[in-house]
Amino acid sequence: MKKYLAFTIIFLFLLIPSCKKTTEPAETILPNNEEEITIATWNLKNFGQTKLNDSARIDVIVSVLKKYDIIAIQEVQDVSLALPAELISKINANGENYKVVSSERVGRTRKEQYLFVYDDDVVDFIDNTTGYGIEPNDEFSREPFYAMFKAGNFDFYLMTIHTDPDDVDVEIPAMKVAYEDLQNKTIDEDDIILLGDLNARAPGVTAGSYITMDSIALIPNIVFTIKEETNTRGGRSYDNIIFQGNYTTEYSDSCGVYAFWIDYYLSEDDGFRISDHMLVWAKFRIDLADDD
pTM over 0.85: yes
What is the torsional sign of CA 43, 145, 239, 40?
negative
Model confidence pLDDT, tens digit, residues 233-266: 999 999 999 999 999 999 999 999 999 999 999 9
What is the torsional sign of CA 147, 133, 64, 254?
negative
Q: Report CA-CA distances (Å) from 52 to 31, 44, 246, 263, 274.
A: 28, 11, 40, 20, 10
DSSP letter at 236 equals B
* Cβ neighbours of 206 (radius 10 Å): 9
Name residue 107's amino acid.
Answer: G
Model confidence pLDDT, tens digit, residues 168-196: 999 999 999 999 999 999 999 999 999 99
Query: Do 156 and 248 meet the contact criterion of CB atoms below 8 Å apart?
Result: yes
Which domains occur in the chain, in start order?
9-285 (3.60.10.10)
What b/e readout covers 86-107, taking b as 16+ CB neighbours within 10 angstroms? Answer: ebbebbeeeeeebbbbbbeebb
* 47, burial (CB in 10 Å: exposed 0-12, middle 13-18, buried 19+): buried
